[in-house]
Amino acid sequence: MLDQMNAGRMAALNPQERARTLCTQARGFLDRGLLLEAERLYQDAVAADDRSAEAHAGLAEVRERSGDADAARREAHTSLELGPSAGAYLVLAQLDFASGSLNDAKTEAGDALRLEPSNRVAGELMHQIEAKSGRAR
């Protein structure tokens, strides 16, 4: 019954609002480590509005966490084509850091911090990049 009520509310929303609502729900699952549920909701958000930068950034993070670097990179780039996103820059920074591309990782982490100066994950990643490149503060 709750699912039917939720479906009715979602159907009443325009595609952009539906995608935004689905992304909010997906973020809750992703924050709890529930990748499959988050992925399903992010995919539903893209289906509702394929121009949702937030949905593509969320899918990028799901792909990165599940170990699919190529798909994560594609989704992050799609997100950035649609609009600036700290989340998309952060996925790219983490992928580049993991592969040893420190200059690219530093640029992307910096871009994430410019969009969200208080982003703790981006700040920590920037410190790791600086420490690994021998320029710790």
SS3 letters across the chain? CHHHHHHHHHHHCCHHHHHHHHHHHHHHHHHCCCHHHHHHHHHHHHHHCCCCHHHHHHHHHHHHHCCCHHHHHHHHHHHHHHCCCHHHHHHHHHHHHHHCCHHHHHHHHHHHHHHCCCCHHHHHHHHHHHHHCCCCC
pLDDT above 70 covers a percentage of the chain that reads 92
- List the domain range (segments joined by +) for residue 128: 84-137
Residue 105: inside a domain:
yes
Same-domain status, 1 and 63 = yes
Residue 73: inside a domain:
no
pLDDT 10s digits, 24-59: 999 999 999 999 999 999 999 999 999 999 999 999
Residue 19: inside a domain:
yes
Same-domain status, 64 and 89 = no
Report the predicted TM-score, pTM, of the whole model to 2 decimal places: 0.88
User: How many separate domains does the chain show?
Assistant: 2
